[in-house]
Amino acid sequence: MVSWTGCSLKYYRPQGQPEIRTGADPLKPQQWHLKNLGSIEGKRYTRIKAGQDLNVENAWNSGLNGDGIRVAVVDDGLDMTHPDLRPNIVDGSHNYRRQSLGENRYSNRIAGHKDWPVPCTEDDSHGTSVAGIIAARDYNGIGGTGIAPRASLVGYNLLAFGDERNILDALSRDIDKNHISNNSWGPNDDGQLNKPASGWTAFNDALAKGLNKGRNGLGVLYVFSGGNGAWEGDYSSADSATSSRGVITVCAVDAAGERSPYSERGANLTVCAPSGRSTTPATAPEITTTAVKDKYTEDFGGTSAAAPMVSGVAALMLQANPRLTWRDVPLILARTARQVDASKGGWSELRSPLAGVTGHDVLRYSHHYGFGVVDAEAATRLARSWQSVGGSAEQRKCGPFLMNVSKPIPEASTVTQQQADSTPASMDDGSAEEQYFEALTELANNLDYNKAPTGGLSSTISVPANCNLQHIEHIDVNLTVTGDNGRGEHPNAGDLQIALASPLGKVSTLLPPHPCTEKDEDGELKILACQGLQDFTFGVRRHLEEPVAAGANRNWTLSVADRVQGGTGQLKNWSITFYGR
């Protein structure tokens, strides 16, 4: 028996090898994300459209199933005994609860299983559901199937005790064995400017270790959820962890192929993947996958479900071409993603040279959808013929290029009066606080994310001629905004609209005006000022494959405007760093 003191769940390891079962997977017809027929037997949904799925069947038919690819599920735990997962679970899981609580809190009657990262209660089913999306076993007569149903799984229950040290450990653990690290977690969806708990530098150093040394120099693929806070105005780029270089950040679409209402927008997004809509009453299906204690759920969702979709597809890509590097995979995903919501998605086009082939691709980007919805067949097909751009050693860096500004940020095209400060305030019906919240969320919903604000402050960095990258892969924009006196925090960073424009005229909205929120002990949502725009780094994916310069134009322009009346500040400085080839 394996359990922890104070935990309600106990696990009994089956004796011997996993039972080899055969037969069709009975829940597979409910897994619309694998094959969306436009309806699910016995269910009535208004938002489901045939073809809005991962397009994975032809990838399977070509012989791909994830065999030989190991995925680390970094989450709240992994049910090591689940019959739909156990055949794919290999040695190498890690139990942070054991480390944090001590050996004396552990009840173990099976020698050698203290590193089982098993869930403590049935509420800790998140990681087990994530694992099922990636690699639930196929053709075993039970449950459903994963996207890469023969991939290997390990679990790290980081969320059981996610202190700073453990976060860094989980990112860099077994980088010689793990091909993919799935991270369906992040900071609170509160709109604040969130740096990693371990600090930005330490977090990125841990990622760099996996990128540089993982898979014998090919690099670990780090897949992260983009965040579920769009309901309250949160923005994925405000989380510097999910915006870091080397991270594949994933948004969510529903079964009709449109952005799930909770899925956060951002200039850091790579691709979207299927998930639920999370509305009441249910208008669209959620995701059917594994749950703790040999159970299943049909109600898993959020960007937590979307991220493992991409991890599963990435496993198929690595099986199709084991020499793909961490840089190759997002380039392939961007080129093969499927455009959705064409009329309202806010798409912008870029013609980019096609790797290894004469001619050009058209890359389309949206702050709502990244480069589009992941397409397993297209991604694996291109993966087979892809000419690698190399790993970390071949990636070039330019910068940082710094501009000291120290000028006030003007109010421009304001939409509401300031109502938020450092003290959380209730939003009673009809109150000024509620009107402030609604004005900012409406602005975020209707904003043209491909345009810079007008009437504010603009600052331009002209990139030196010795920085001649022709294909940008990642940009870091670091900036500091202060109060009116040039010191301290801006009174409310959520007032600001911040955008970066390239020499080609492509615009990244780094931060839209938005409210910040927190929930009190009774679950009531309250507003307060947004903080954190001091030495904050925005990681940008939106300019993928653009050149640093367009002819003689080497100017990158940052525009900042204050869209709320009351509470102003200064842009102290900003810098830009480019990575690419």
Q: Which residues are catalytic, by number?
A: 75, 126, 304
Can you tell me the distance from the alpha carbon of 87 to that of 182, in angstroms, rounded to the nearest whole number? 19
Query: What letter represents residue 316's amino acid?
Result: L
- Tell me the chain's radius of gyration from C-alpha atoms: 23
Can you tell me the distance from the alpha carbon of 398 to that of 508, in angstroms, rounded to the nearest whole number? 19
252 beta partners: 273
457 beta partners: 560
The CB-based long-range contact list for 33-42 (8 Å cut-off, 24+ gap) reads 33/255, 33/273, 33/274, 33/275, 33/287, 33/309, 34/145, 34/147, 36/255, 36/274, 40/285
Tally the residues of the chain. Answer: 581
Query: What letter represents residue 372's amino acid?
Result: G
Can you tell me the distance from the alpha carbon of 519 to that of 523, in angstroms, rounded to the nearest whole number? 5
Asked if residues 381 and 317 have their Cβ atoms less than 8 Å apart, the reply is: no
User: Under 8 Å CB-to-CB from 259, ≥6 apart: which residues?
Assistant: 251, 252, 253, 272, 341, 345, 368, 369
140 beta partners: 23
Can you tell me the distance from the alpha carbon of 308 to that of 83, in angstroms, rounded to the nearest whole number? 19
DSSP string, 147-213: SSTT-EEEEE-GGGS--HHHHHHHHHTTTTT-SEEEE---S-SS---BPPTT-HHHHHHHHHHHHHH
In the three-class reduction of DSSP (H, G, I as helix; E, B as strand; rest coil), residue 499 is classed as strand
User: Under 8 Å CB-to-CB from 445, ≥6 apart: which residues?
Assistant: none
For residue 97, what is the enclosing H or E element?
A: helix 96-101
Asked if residues 134 and 54 have their Cβ atoms less than 8 Å apart, the reply is: no
DSSP string, 506-534: -EEEEE----EEEE-TT--EEEE-----S
Asked if residues 416 and 565 have their Cβ atoms less than 8 Å apart, the reply is: yes
User: Under 8 Å CB-to-CB from 166, ≥6 apart: which residues?
Assistant: 96, 99, 100, 158
Question: Roughly how many angstroms between the first and final C-alpha of the chain, as a whole number?
Answer: 53
Pairing mode, if any, of strands 271-274 and 152-156?
Answer: unpaired
Asked if residues 554 and 502 have their Cβ atoms less than 8 Å apart, the reply is: no
Ranges assigned E (strand) in 226-358: 247-253, 271-274, 287-291, 295-300, 348-353
What are 450's two structure tokens?
């491909």
The CB-based long-range contact list for 208-213 (8 Å cut-off, 24+ gap) reads 208/245, 208/246, 208/392, 209/171, 209/172, 209/175, 210/171, 210/172, 210/175, 210/181, 210/246, 211/245, 211/246, 211/326, 211/391, 211/392, 212/391, 212/392, 212/393, 213/175, 213/176
